[in-house]
Chains A and B, each alone.
Chain A
Amino acid sequence: MGKLDESLGFCNSSFMSPVRRGKELPIYNRLPVLRAERGMSRAALAEAVEVNPQTIGALERGDHYPSLDLAFRICAVFGLPVEAVFGREPFTPLSTQLYRE
């Protein structure tokens, strides 16, 4: 997984782009990493959660906050709890986490 992160250039934590709105309470997400890990395109994820593919792109770029409903649907696709996919703090790159462990 660490190798995957590095090869995709996810080591830089700034990749987890903050949302534009709510500068004091940003929402970060791990969608690009989770999609890459599972080999999913934005279109495939969008189809799974029944939204426009551009909405997934906007989430990944931090241009859009998901509703609670959409956040739960995305988490159900990845089989992860909400806090594993979305968070108030920037996510540490998985490669760094693995190295520390």
Chain B
Amino acid sequence: MSSHTRARRRNVALVVLIGFACMIAGAALFRDPTLVVSAVLMAVGLLLGVGGTFVLRSRTGRAAGHGEDLDERDTELRDAAHYRSYQAFGALMLADLAYGLVVAGHPEAGSLTAAMTATLFLLGTAMPALNLAWTLPDDDPEDFATTPPRAA
């Protein structure tokens, strides 16, 4: 197991956010004349956003992962991150609703709204890992040392 710094985690978090920004732009262009541009943006965004989220999950420890191996502190961290992310997720869904109302008159409003909803939903699932990556301090190398501290 290796240690990670907050600065490195934040760099990956920024890459993930750039990826999701690409996906949001792609979802907004998800209509006939700009379909190719949209597909490219969505593909790049998917690679950066979703791929980066998996990297973040490995760098934020077990708290961002599954429940089987979590101890009491991991569970506490995960619960706090999920709670905060759930509030942000609500804001994303409100933004999605507003977007749906804005494009309601467009002939391809259904596909535009569906693409945006899917994108924002994916962003919502990445929120806990983003939250942990941004807030967790640097790992302490002594946590991973297998030899005890020297007594003399």
Contact = CB atoms under 8 A, between A and B. Distances in A.
B143 A36 contact: no
B151 A51 contact: no
Chain B interface mostly: loop
Given A51-B72, A64-B73, A70-B72, A57 B140 contact: yes
Given A42-B142, A43-B143, A55 B148 contact: no
B149 A8 contact: yes
Contacts of A51: 71-73
A40 B148 contact: yes
Contacts of A39: 148, 151
Contacts of B145: 41-43
Contacts of B71: 50-52, 55
Nearest to A39: B148
A51 B151 CA distance: 24
A43 B139 CA distance: 14
A75 B65 CA distance: 29
B107 to A, nearest CB: 54
B61 A54 contact: yes
Given A52-B61, A52-B71, A55-B72, A41 B146 contact: yes
Contacts of B62: 52
A74 to B, nearest CB: 12
A67 B72 CA distance: 8
Interface of B: 61-62, 71-74, 76, 139-140, 142-149, 151-152
